[in-house]
Structures are given as structure tokens and as C-alpha cells.
Amino acid sequence: MVGNPNTGKTTLINALAGSNLKVGNWPGTTVDRLAARLRLAGKEIELVDLPGTYGLIPTTPEEGLVARELLNNRPQTIINVVDAGNLERNLHLTLNLSEMGMPMLVALNLMDEAEAKGYSLDPQALERELGVPVAPLVASRDKGVTALLERLQQGVVPRPQVKYPPPIEKAVGELAQQIDHPSRRWLALALLSGEEVPLQLPEQVLQSAARLSKSLQDSGIDAYLEIENARFARAHELARAVITGSEKRLTLTDRIDKWVLHPLLGGPLFLLGMLLAFRFTFSFSSPWVDFIGALQEVLAGWVHAAHLPALLSSFLADGLIGGVGTVISFAPVLFFLYLALAFLETSGFLARAAFIADKFMLLAGLPGRAFIPLILGFGCNVPAVYSTRILNGRLDRLRVAMAVPFMTCSARLVVFTLFAAVFFPKQATWVVFGLYLLGMLIGLLTAWALGRAAGGGSSSGLMELPPYRMPTLRVVVKLAWARTRSFLQGAGGPILLAVLFVWMLLNLPPGASLQNSYYARAAELMQPLFATLGIHDWRLLGALIPGFVAKEVVVGTLAVSYLGSAPGAALGFVAGLAQIASALWQALLGSLDAIPALLGLPHMASAPAAGGDLRSALAGSLTQAGALSYLAFLLLYTPCVATLAAIKNEFGKFWAAFAMIYELLVAFGVAWGVYRLALLFGGG
Amino acid sequence: MLKELLALLELPQSRAQLRDGLQVDEETLEAMLLSLQRKGYVGLAYSQSPTCGTSCTYCSLKNLCPAAGAEPQESKVWRLSKKGEEQLKKDRR
């Protein structure tokens, strides 16, 4: 008895043998040998259950045992036990057996399971095709077992089943002639495939096999692939002839995937999903950003009311509260963005999004799995650079690493949100979304251009997609909170240092006005160059300098340089508390308002209004065209220090320097293009 | 059939898409992939990649990423090997 694992062979031999079953071991192994002696029509026969196997070429000790036993202790008849519910896969072994030149019959077991899977089978069709007896049965219920016993002695050698390409047939014919064994055809096929067979064959046969294999190979024929290809094709054909009806039962995941992974709709649905994630982020974070902004104003007011020395008061109100506080006020943006991403991730949608993005990567000539580091880059560029290690080949890794810094990390999102709220209050979501797309486009173009130098792409192959699940609120909130906390903790140190450094530059030399500070002088040096981009204000240019340390510092620096120049108003304790309570109430109401805003299809939600004072201060410093060019420059310019350090670690100093200079040039060029384009459309 | 599978694997495909493309069931698809893997036409991506080396704790894609676990039973990513790519080119010629 030969069959795939889990086809019910043991159950069948139990049903056939009853109390005559003997359990032992195969010689020299610990593999169970089940056998039974039966009397059938006056003759004594021995039934032997061979270990379950998918093929006759040994890849495991059990499989080796099956081929060895069949070739060396030729049975009178092979009972091929086939799982009716997994017919096609099982028939692959049947076809192998049919080439052994031995009488056989097929026990088509597990007919009940096939029915439960929605299949209708025609055993007679299989009998006709194979030319051997086929007995349908359910061994576990003794159904069909007697009929099998009755047909046991009717086993015949199957007629040839698999038609191989003519050059293979010719080689098989030539080799088989030299083999003195009833299984000569199977042996010839195995030898031509380059397999080792568990049988002692004359040296001359092995030499002929090697010669014929080489000759096939020289004429561009891969014998193994052709032989296996033909067997799978024949198994497929047989299964189609035997399965007369199948009721395909689609799971919910299958049904949703029909749309989500659709070749045409998949891409737009992926983009829509990401757009909705941004919309959710802005709708729900906006009221809480306002609340934190109000809290910050109250704290600054209390500091001013404390009548501290002017420098200390400025340090606390403008440096600490105005700088770091403004950055922290964007925690709600990050939290809601991470909440949306956690929902997409745990529901199984992000896997599909990555899958769809994978195809875009290939279109751009990138290795398929490049989407992993690139999508990681939306969170933080640093781990994204390290994750390029999942790609093979230095060139592929380098191409993707050079593209990663163009992906909008969450630090840049903070700045985008602020500017979008100030300059494009009605189209904030579209602007931010557009910047994400622009970054992706430039990144892909960079990788593509680098790839052109070396040529060739990679392939991705098959990806497992998890089933869709409804995420639990607890898990989603926990994930979002952990990521927000991680971002804030990671960003806190550098932000504090950078902002305090900038505050110092702003207040040095002592007694100098803001416009005469060291910081202003350094920023003014850049003015002539950036005037071509529509950016004239030295405070905006100055913020780009610490932005090189960490992009999230840009907003804090802007707050210090803009708000530091306008002294804040003092605020009484009770008045401050009343202001906080009022802001909290507004935030709660705003959250309730966000629900219909999210569901309302025609309008996109507005971005959160960053700290009120900074917002008004910024509004007068740029035109819309200038704001767009500033955002484009900020998106694309030199990666932050940590990302450069990661590139240096992975690819060396040269590539870190290349990334810095190349991205600076790209940023300037694209920002100039964006500015000119915006002017054309009246953004001046 | 195996050649069709090789051709399909050139682009990223889900198992469902491969099953639909070849009109085979899951078990047969697995058998075909194993046949290709046995002679080195395809390989599991993770077996060729060192781990990423960064923390996966907060990574949205850790369940997908072949580098996220040593035994990615739930997330097998197969890829054409060099041999598979060469065979595909040969078939196209």
C-alpha cells in the first residue's frame, strides 16, 4: 500500500486486516512496518503498508524506504491509496507509480471528505483514464472495503500516462533499453532528472544517463523541469476529468481579496485606504492639537506672570514651552496616525497594501520586497535603512537605501501638518498626501536611476497574506500608544538639545536684538539662494539648519524664532485654569464633530491648527507657492544625522556623503520646479 | 504547469492568485513549489537574508517580513532563484 501521508492507509489496513495486523519496524530503521496476512480466494497474501510519501525520489528516510522496497522487493500489486479530497496532488504520486511497470489498483479513500469539500467525483472516469481498477471507499466507516478486497487480484500495469517532450522520450527510450529491471522507464526518467536511485545499476547505465543528461542540457532542455512539468500537467488533466463538479466555497477573505487585490482596482483601493488613514488622523487629532496648543499658551502666560528675570522668562516660555511644547502638541497627530496604521495592520489590510505596493516597486525596476524598507521609512528612516538587509545583493540594498530618505517619516509629518494647516486649511489632507506621493516618486526614480547603471531586477515571488480579522480596540490602542511613546521618547532628547541650542543662538550676542543674533546672521547667508524658491524669511531658512540634526526640530525652532520675537502676555492663575477648561470642552466637542467629518465623503478634513500664535506668525511669511516649495525642500533635503549614520554603517562614508549631497541637490531642484509650477497656477 | 508557475513567480503573487492562475488547489500548489525548491528554482526568501538587525517590536510589517522570525511559518515568501530566473529567460527564448 503506497500513498501520500494522511490518506488513511493505516485505517485501511486496519479495516482490511482486522486482528491479523502485525506491527514491527522496517529493517535498520525505527519506521513502523504494518503488515497483515490474509487469505483471499484460497490464496494467502501479505498486505504491507509503506510509509506515507509524496514522491518516490528520496528526500526523507521514509521516502527512500518506499522506492527501495518497491524496486528491490517487487510486490505482486500496488494498492495506491489516494485522498479523494486532494486528488490532484495525490495523482502526482500515482503517475510516478504508473511508470514503475507494476500491476496496481487505486483505493480512492476519504470520499466523504471530498464530498464535504464540495467535490463530486467520477471514479469510473479515473479507471478509464488510468486503465487500472479504482475502488471508491471510506475506510474509517468500512465503506467500500469489501469491494476493494474483491478487486485486489485484478490489479494491472497502467497504460502510459505521461507524455514527455520528444527529446526526453527519445533519451528515456535509449536509456531504458540498457536497464534490466521491470521499472526501467521510471528508473530512466529518474536518472535523466539527475536523481539518485536506490538500486544498484551497472556503471555503463550510469555513464549513459550522464551522457544523455548532458546532451539534453546542451540543447537547452532541463530534464528535471520538463519531466516534473509533464507529470503535474497530466495530474491536472486527470483531476479535471474525474472531478465532475466542485462547489467552490469562498471564504470572506477570498471575497474581500477579489476586490482588494484586483489588478486594476487594487492600486486605487490601496491609495484610498491610505488617504482615509490620513483623513482619520487629521479629523480626530485636530481638536486635541488645539487643546495642547492652548495649554501651552496658558503655561507661557503663567511664566510671564511670574516676573522672572527677562532671560530666564524667555528661556522658559520661548525655549522650553514654546519649542519642545509645540513639538509635543503634535503627539495627537502621531497617535491617531499610528491608530489608523495599527487598525490597517491588525485587520490584514496593511499586508495587502504592502502586496499592492510590491507591484509598484517592480514596475519601477526595484526588487519586489523593497516595499518593506520603503514603507518602514514612513515611520522612521533609520530602521528602514537597516532593513534593506532583507534584500539580496549590495546594489539592490544601496538603491533602496538611497530611496528611503525620500519617504516621509513621521518627523516630517509634524512640519507638513503645521504648514498645511496654515497655508492650505481647506486642502490640508491633499497637500500632505501629495507630499507623501512626491517623496515616493522621487525615491523610486532615484532607485530606478541607480539600477539603470547595473541593470537587471529581482523577483519577489509568492507572499502569504493573512486572513482579514476585526481588530480589538485594546490591541489597536496599545500598539498606537507604544509607537507614539517610542517616537516621543526617541525625539525628546535631540529636540531639547537642538531647540535650546537655537534659543542660545537667537539670544547671542547678549543684548542683541533677534534680527542681529548669530542665528539670524547664519540664516541670512542662505537668503540669496533660497530667494529663487520664494523663501525669503531668515527664520524659515534658519529652521532648516537644526532640521539636519532631526527633522522634528524644525517646528520647535520655528516656534522659538517666531514667537521669541513677540513677548507673550502674562496670564493669571484662575484665568489660565478657565482657559484650559474651555479648551478641553472645545476639544471634546471637536472630537464629536470629527465623526460626521470622517463620514462626509465630499470634504476632506482640515489639518489640525498648530499652536495658534505660531500659525498666525507663519501666515505672513510665505506665499502659497513659497510654502509648497518650502515643504518640497523639507521633504527631500539631506537626511537627518541618524539616517546618515545608518547609511554610513551599512554602505560606508562615500555613500553617506553621496546621499547628503545628492539629496540636497534634488531637494533644491524639485523645490524650484514646485515653486515655478505653483506660480503658474496662481499660488503667488 | 511548473513552467507556468515559474513564469507567474516573476511578479509578486498571493497564493490565491497563483491557485487561480494555475487552477489548482492549495495542496497541489504546495507540491509544485516544493518540486521547484528541491532543485533550486525557487527558494524561501528568509533563507537567503540575514536578519534585519533592528527592533521589530514596533514594525508594522513584522508579520510579513521574512527577516522578522527564524521560522516564518505564517509568512513564507518564495522567490525565484538565479537558476529559476535563468530558466525563465531560456523558456522565453
Query: Domain limits of chain A?
Result: 2-154, 166-252, 266-452+471-607+622-680
Count the alpha carbons within 13 Å of A629 in the hemisphere toward its beta carbon.
28
Query: Domain limits of chain B?
Result: 1-46+76-93
Q: Which of residues 109-148 of A touch B (CB under 8 A)?
A: none
B16 neighbourhood in chain A, CB within 8 Å: 254, 257, 261, 465
DSSP-derived secondary structure for B43-75? EEGGGGS----S--TT-TTTTT-TTS-SS-TT-
CA atoms of B25 and B20, how far apart (whole Å): 9
Report the b/e string of A472-507 with b at 16+ CB within 10 A: eeeebeebbeebbebbbebbeebbbebbbbbbebbb
**Residue A112, burial from CB neighbour count under 10 angstroms (0-12, 13-18, 19+):** middle
Letter for the amino acid at A559?
A
Of A233, A254, A466, the CB nearest to B1: A233
Query: What's the pLDDT score for residue A20?
Result: 64
Of A362, A372, A483, the CB nearest to B11: A362
* Phi and psi based region of residue A220 (left: phi greater than 0; alpha: psi -120 to 50; beta: remaining): left
Confidence of residue A227 (pLDDT cuts 50, 70, 90): very high
Does the beta carbon of A241 lie under 8 angstroms from any beta carbon of chain B? no
CB atoms within 10 A of CB A239: 23
- For the record, the C-alpha cell of B34 comes out as 516544493
A59 neighbourhood in chain B, CB within 8 Å: 38
Question: HEC profile for A291-309?
Answer: HHHHHHHHHHHHHHHCCCC
Residue A89 near residue A118, CB atoms below 8 Å = no
- Selected for mutation to probe chain A from B11, B64, B89 (highest A CB count within 10 Å) is B64
Q: What's this model's pTM, rounded to 2 decimal places? A: 0.57
Please answer yes or no on whether B77 and A462 come within 8 Å at the CB atom: yes
Q: Given the C-alpha cell 514527455, which residue does it identify? A: A164
- For the record, the C-alpha cell of A647 comes out as 547609511
Query: What's the pLDDT score for residue A94?
Result: 95
User: CA of B62: which chain A residue's CA is closest?
Assistant: A372
Measured over the CA atoms of residue A529, residue A535, residue A538 and residue A544, the dihedral's sign is negative
Nearest to A592 by CA among A280, A284, A277: A284
CATH architecture of A166-252: Orthogonal Bundle (1.10)
- Selected for mutation to probe chain A from B1, B9, B19, B20 (highest A CB count within 10 Å) is B1
Count the alpha carbons within 13 Å of A327 in the hemisphere toward its beta carbon.
32
Tens of pLDDT along A243-295? Answer: 887 766 667 777 888 888 887 888 788 778 777 777 787 788 878 878 887 88
Whole-complex ipTM:
0.75
| CA distance to partner chain B, nearest, from residue A193 (Å) | 10
Which option is the CATH number for A2-154: 2.60.120.1360, 3.40.50.300, 3.40.50.720, 3.40.50.1100?
3.40.50.300
User: CA of B33: which chain A residue's CA is closest?
Assistant: A462
Q: Is the peptide bond before A639 cis (omega within 30 degrees of 0)?
A: no
Does residue B50 register a pLDDT over 50? no
Please answer yes or no on whether A228 and B2 come within 8 Å at the CB atom: yes
Q: Which of A104-108, A456-460, A678-682 has the lowest mean pLDDT?
A: A456-460
Residues 6+ away with beta carbon under 8 Å from A207: none
Q: Given the C-alpha cell 465532475, which residue does it identify? A: A244
Of B16, B35, B53, the CB nearest to A228: B35
- The continuous run of DSSP H or E covering B78 comes out as strand B77-80
Q: Does domain B1-46+76-93 have CATH number 1.10.10.60?
A: no
Please answer yes or no on whether A225 and B27 come within 8 Å at the CB atom: no
Confidence of residue B79 (pLDDT cuts 50, 70, 90): confident
Please answer yes or no on whether A369 and B77 come within 8 Å at the CB atom: yes
Tens of pLDDT along A618-662? Answer: 777 888 888 889 989 988 888 877 778 778 877 888 998 999 999
